[in-house]
Structures are given as structure tokens and as C-alpha cells.
A and B are shown apart, each in its own frame.
Chain A
Amino acid sequence: MIVADHITKTFTTDDGSTVRALDEVTLSVDEGEFVAVVGPSGSGKSSLLFALGGISGPDSGKVHLGATDVYSLGPSRRAALRRTEVGFVFQTFNLVPWLDVVDNVAFPAMLAGRSRREARSLAHGMLEKLGMVARARHYPAQLSVGERQRVGIGRALVNRPKVLLADEPTGSLDSANGTQFLDLLSEFNGQGQTIVVVTHSAALAERAHRIVSIVAGRVTDDRPGRLRRLAS
């Protein structure tokens, strides 16, 4: 489904020094898998996620999503791939502040070429699944953090992407909202959704099929999570 093949990514910091965020990382995620990427701050987890999602290309190595070499595409085609094949969920939700809930969820569908009516219908369906229909006409600033994250996941999944990428999705949520969100992720995964989550949360990681550990830009461990252990 999604393969990172020996990807390396370096950054130049403000003081001019070079930081190797990813160092020859190779990772393969199968269809329907739920993978948690864990590691200390600055270990390269988010860089890996952005590289997998077609947001930020590696300096070397390749990323394949299905049969597509993601970084061989131009900016516009890569943007098209992001809006149709990949869904992103962020720690700080990153909802579009000037759109209401239904339009936030419908936005990627409209970008993908669906009519506004069709996109909003899809968004309503998604909001129903998320229990957010009553908040459809509200703006992000009027929502609780848990509600914002639910809208974020709705937006990420409205185009039925091949893979859902989440960057610290429970980092801004309290325990109750975090648990609810994990239940939601598990539910979507149970329906066949491929999920890659970057997290510090042990509880979240334990819900995954696999837990991949990264330290200093290198994969140091790749072990089954609780789901897989239970299955086996």
C-alpha cells in the first residue's frame, strides 16, 4: 500500500547547522494496517509522516503509494494525490477557520471535483458517523477540542482516501476525548481503513497492529501492537 524506501531528509536550522531528520528509513505499510510511529520529540516521526503523505519530499529515497512514485509527480499532481488518496489529521486540528463544520468536511470533496451539493451530502454522511450533525453550521472556534478533532477526521476521510495519516491526533485532547477518538480510529480501521499514526501516547500505540519506533531519524524497532498480539 505505502512504502518508504531508504528515505533521507535533512534540514538546515536557523543557526546554519544541518539536522538529519530521517536517515535511510525504510517502512512498508499494508492495506488495512494500523501502524503507530513512536519516538522522542525531534526523532523524525513527523518528517516521516509528511514524507509518506506527499507533503515534504525526501532528499533521497522514494515513497510509493500503491504503484505511484509520489515524488516523481509535479506539485499540482501531488496536491491532487493528497486530496484523493491521503487523509491528514493534525494535533492542532488545523480546520479552516472561515468555513463552517460541514464546509470544512466537504472542502476536500469539492477540491476533488465533486459538486457542492454532492460534497455537502458526503460531508453530512460523515458528520452523522461522527455524531456531529448538530454542529454542522458551527464554525471551528465554536467547537470543543474533541469536536474539532472529530471534524478533522471527517475532513480527512470524506474522499475515502487509501491511507489516513495522523500526527499526534490525541495530543490536544483530554483523556475522555482521546479515548473517544481512539475508538473512532479503531472503528474506521475495522472497516478496512489504512492508518499511520505518529504519537507519544502509549494507549494509542497499543491500539495499533504495529508499533514502529524511531530514534534520531532511524527505525530502531518494529513490533506488533496489541491488536496483532490479540489476533495471534
Chain B
Amino acid sequence: MIRITFAYLRVRWGEYALVALAVALIVAALVAQRAVTSSADGAIHDLAHRLGSNMLVLPRDQDVGDFHLQRYGPSVLPDASPVILKSSEIASDIRGSQARLYGHVVVGGRDVLLVGEEGSWPRSPVVGTAPAMLSPSAAGRLGFRPGSIIELNGASLSVAGVMDRPPDGLEDAILVPLVTAQQVLGQPGAINALRLAGCWCRIDVAALGKEVERILPGSRAITVAGVVKAQKGAVATMGRYAMALLIAGSLTVAGLVAALVSAQARRARRDLGLLAAIGVSPSVVAALFVASAGLSGIAGGVAGYLTAIPATRWLSARTLGAAASPSLDLFAFAVIGAGLVAAGAAALATRRAVALDPSEVLRES
């Protein structure tokens, strides 16, 4: 039977190869989509784990999406905001804070992000200048190295060092003390972002955010939990669409295979009649079609999974910022699923073929 099936496939290889190709494309899309969704879910878990219970406070008019795209509006908060919070009734819930002022400056004709940050700073290498730390990208792009002097809007900076690993989102930036940034950007006493860290697992974070907004008028508190919740919702939606996509893909595979087998059965009436005449039982005729379709489904599943590997890497690199690969579980799903769907569709389509009266077609020949 196996040999007969392979002999049959050898003759009809073109048609079955087309089916396998179609199956491969559908399987590749399904596997890549599922792998990216799964990686997105994992990435959100990582993010939540990494950020813990941080809270981001922005000026109310600042669009959050724009903020993450490093587009900063004119609205600001007072740089006394951390002190105000630490002297308020919610001080015990706040473990730490980091105030920043973000803005764009032009250095040597090139736009670069300037970030002013509170905290301890290294000594400036040149007396009378403010210290600046550069990301490797900014240093390379602007041609600066430690000790270089940067003149910016009347302020003199000297490069104290180039960071090995710049903070998240600051891959191309100059970091300076907050007061220096306020001077350079012409916004004395202002900040446009405040990160709060705390241990508020026992309290209502949403309520705490409302408190922050009340204590700092004109502010908006964004909790990581809220962002993660929103992102999880988006991933769950993707998951639901993935199921719809899976069903649609399976139906497409089944339809393709059923159409192929039906067409073949119509075209191969004479062969089928002959096989029946020489004693091939209906179940063997059905098995021939089902095995052929199942094999092309399996081949399509393997090819689809292999195609999904680079596709998943490409997609995840663009959507998640890190290359992901489909798991081996998905390989089994792709191969067994495609084989079963193809074989099942062939089994349905074969019913007419096995019911054929051989004498009808033998009479025609």
C-alpha cells in the first residue's frame, strides 16, 4: 500500500506539491502568528516582572504614546514634585522616585535626545563644565569621547563617560544633571516625567494613582499594572483572532484538499473503475487518496514550520524588539494538524469515488 501510494504520488506529484505549498503557506502564517503571540505574552510577563510596581507620572497633557516615541509636549511638572509626594500622606507607600526632564537638542547639526536626571553624578572632567554621560550610539554619531566639550545653548558640558548599557529607551541620548537640562532646554524648575517605585502590593494601585494626581495637580499617574493589563488584553485579543485564524486556515486546507481529491476522483474515474474491477476494495481506494493527501499535508506542515522560523524571527524582531522562534510543540501541531486536516478532507471527498460502479467507466473506455 505504501509503495502504491508513493507510486501514485510520483505521477500526481505536481498537484500534491501545489497542495503541500498551499498548506505550507497557511501553516507558516498560523505558526508564526501563534509563536509571536506566545512571545508577546512572555515579553509582557518579563516586563511586569522587571518593572514590578513602578508608576510613571507625566504632565496631564502629555500623550503616553508620544512620550514613548520621545515626542515631548510643552507641559511640565514642578521639579519639587518628588519632595511634595514624600511629604504627603502617601509617602510611606513610595520607596523611591526619579525625576527627569526630556527634550531634544541639536549638536553639530544633529538632533539628539537630552535627558536631565536627578541623582549622584560623576565629577566633570573639565572644570567649569557640567558632566555629561553619553550612550555609545550618541557618542559614535556625534564623534565625542570622554573629555570632549559640548557647547549647548550657553551651557558647557564635558563628556564624563560613555555608558556601557544605557537605560531603557535611551540608546541614543545625552544624560546630564537635571539642573543642566533645565538650563539647556530653557525650562528652569521643570520636569516632564517622574518615576515612582514602591511596595504597594497590599493597596489599591489605581486609588494610589488618583491620590498622586490629586497631590500633583496637572499630572497623570500611569501604573505599570494598568499598562500590562492593557497589553495583556491586546494579546488576549490576538489569541482570540489566532483561534479564528486557525479555524479559517484549517478550513482552507480542508477545502483545498477536498477540491483536489474530488477533481482527481472525477478525472481518475477510469483508474478507479479499473482498480475496483481488479479487486481493489473500496477501503483501499479511499486509503490511497487519504494517504496521498495526508502525506502532502504532512509535507506542507513540515515546510510551513520551517518557513515559520525565519518569519517568526522577522516579525518578533519588529513587533517585540527581540527575535523569537516557534516552539517544538508547534512543530508537532503543524505537522500532525496539517496531516489530519488534509487526510480528513480527502476521506470526505473520497466517498463518491469509492461508490463508483466500475462497469460504468469500463464501458466508457
Contact = CB atoms under 8 A, between A and B. Distances in A.
A97 to B, nearest CB: 7
A107 B282 contact: no
Contact of B276 (A55, A84, A92, A156): A55
A82 B279 contact: yes
B359 A79 contact: no
A47 B359 contact: yes
B281 A90 contact: no
Chain A binding surface SS class: helix
A94 B362 contact: yes
Nearest to B2: A116
Contacts of A46: 359, 362-363
A75 interface: yes
Query: Which of A79, A97, A155 is packed against the most chain B CB atoms within 10 Å?
Result: A79
Given A90-B365, A98-B11, A75 B3 contact: no
A86 B270 CA distance: 19
B69 interface: no
A52 to B, nearest CB: 12
A113 B223 CA distance: 72
A155 B277 CA distance: 12
Interface of B: 3-4, 7-8, 10-12, 270-271, 274-284, 357-359, 362-363, 365
B279 A94 contact: no
B3 A98 contact: no
3 nearest CB pairs, A to B = A83-B279, A56-B359, A98-B11
Contacts of A47: 359
By size class, the interface of chain A is: 20 to 34
A98 B270 CA distance: 13
Contact of B280 (A92, A103, A111, A156): A111
Contacts of B11: 97-98
A56 B3 CA distance: 29
B44 to A, nearest CB: 53
Interface of A: 46-47, 50, 53, 55-56, 75-76, 79-84, 86, 88, 90-92, 94, 96-99, 103, 107-108, 110-112, 116, 155-156, 167
10 contacts: A55-B277, A56-B358, A56-B359, A79-B282, A83-B279, A84-B279, A97-B11, A98-B12, A111-B280, A116-B3
Contacts of A156: 278
A83 B276 CA distance: 9
Contacts of B275: 96
B24 to A, nearest CB: 24
A92 B365 contact: yes
B231 to A, nearest CB: 55
Nearest to A53: B277
Contacts of A92: 365
B46 to A, nearest CB: 55
A149 to B, nearest CB: 14
